[in-house]
Amino acid sequence: MFRQKSLLHSDFHLPYNPKLVERAKELRKNMTPAEKKLWNSYLKNLEFRFLRQRPINNFIVDFYCANLKLVIEVDGNSHFTSEGKYSDAERTSILKGYRLNVMRFTNDDVLNNFESVCQQIEEVITLYMSLNPPYKEGL
């Protein structure tokens, strides 16, 4: 289990390790081809604001949308080893503990099945919107 003492907590943000901020900035400048494609061709144009390479807890998630409570991870080869699978499962469990939904796609999915990836994300957004309709004053 990760040490929680090093995390910053606030009423507004999810807890995060401030030591990860500089690394997150580096990762934003050096996104993988799959991350670049998903960001430039889809996520940055959505009506919901996604953040790239966002520190949460002791992790840096690829994409995060606070309004949707959604994390999107684009996984490379290191995620398919026994150790990688275990680490991802633990990470997903911790993120779900913050009531976040986690979607995982492989680099290959994003690069070669892009429309399917976007459709799956759209389905999650549609489901979220149906369960959380926008507040209308006077109703």
pLDDT average, residue stretch 56-85: 85
User: Tokens for 66?
Assistant: 């606070």
pLDDT average, residue stretch 59-76: 93
What's the pLDDT band for 85 if we cut at 50, 70, 90? confident
Going along the chain from its start, the domains and CATH numbers come out as 18-131 (3.40.960.10)
One-letter amino acid for residue 135 of the chain: Y
SS (H, E, C) 17-71: CHHHHHHHHHHHHCCCHHHHHHHHHCHHHCCCCCEEEEEEECEEEEEEECCCCEE
What's the pLDDT band for 103 if we cut at 50, 70, 90? very high
CA 67 → CA 9, 40, 47, 134, distances in Å?
19, 20, 11, 11
